[in-house]
Amino acid sequence: MTSTPETGTATAEERKTPKKARTGARGANVAPAKAKSAKKAKATKKTPKAAKEAGAAKDGSKTAKIIDLLKRPAHQRIRFGIGYMPEDRRLVPEFTVEENIRLPLWTHAIEKPEERFAWIAKVMPEVERFHSRRALELSGGQQKMVALARALMAGTRILLLDEPFEGLAPALARRLGEVLADLRAHGVSILIAESNESHIRDLLTRSYAIERGTIKAH
């Protein structure tokens, strides 16, 4: 007589079958559940870099945001509130002073531009006085002031100034120093590359010198 095997006992035919092929219904349900769980975890988990860019790093009540500008095209960096004043000014000669100052608005929508322009005119009244003159009609020192005003139009967070005092007469150099001190009082962050530290020594929070390719903190 042949007896029927008890529940849970494999038959001789089943024992010849590979283990993977004998996976029961319960085993078949486990694998998809694990895959689904792993997929969900992957979708919600953030790397440290992603968390920083999303503003996860906090400083008191404010959220610190880390942005890698080197990965952004140059024309997109303006959106992060960065204003740049080049050493050679690079104004558009045929444009008026006001048109040169408003030039960043052509590529980026700045919040409340009219209020921003009025604030710049208040901080730098000399620029407002010749706002209708063309850039080519200005002296080198006056063009420096216009270039700074243009940088301010875009630089709502930080200003990058390249040799701002080079070639300026003493009176204009003093005036530019006063403007920068006023901007600092307004909470504007400024990064200056300058070969003559005497013009900006009183403005500095931190300074670094580049000597023969080596950066030294002062």
Q: What is the pLDDT of residues 34-54, one digit of tens each?
A: 444 444 434 444 444 433 443
Q: What is the distance in angstroms between the CA of the first residue and the CA of the last residue of the chain?
A: 100
Q: What is the mean pLDDT of residues 146-152?
A: 93
Backbone angles phi, psi at 9, to 5 degrees: -105, 125
Rounded Cα–Cα distance for residues 131 and 142 (Å): 11
What are the tens digits of pLDDT across the range 174-209?
888 889 888 888 888 899 988 877 778 888 888 888
The dihedral over CA atoms of 16, 20, 24, 30, expressed in degrees to the nearest 10, equals 170
Contact of 190 with 159, CB cutoff 8 Å = yes
Query: What is the chain's mean pLDDT, rounded?
Result: 74
A 10 A CB-CB count for 80 gives 16
Rounded Cα–Cα distance for residues 195 and 201 (Å): 12
Whether this prediction's pTM lies above 0.75 is answered by no
Domain ranges of the chain: 80-217
Report the CATH number of the 80-217 domain.
Answer: 3.40.50.300
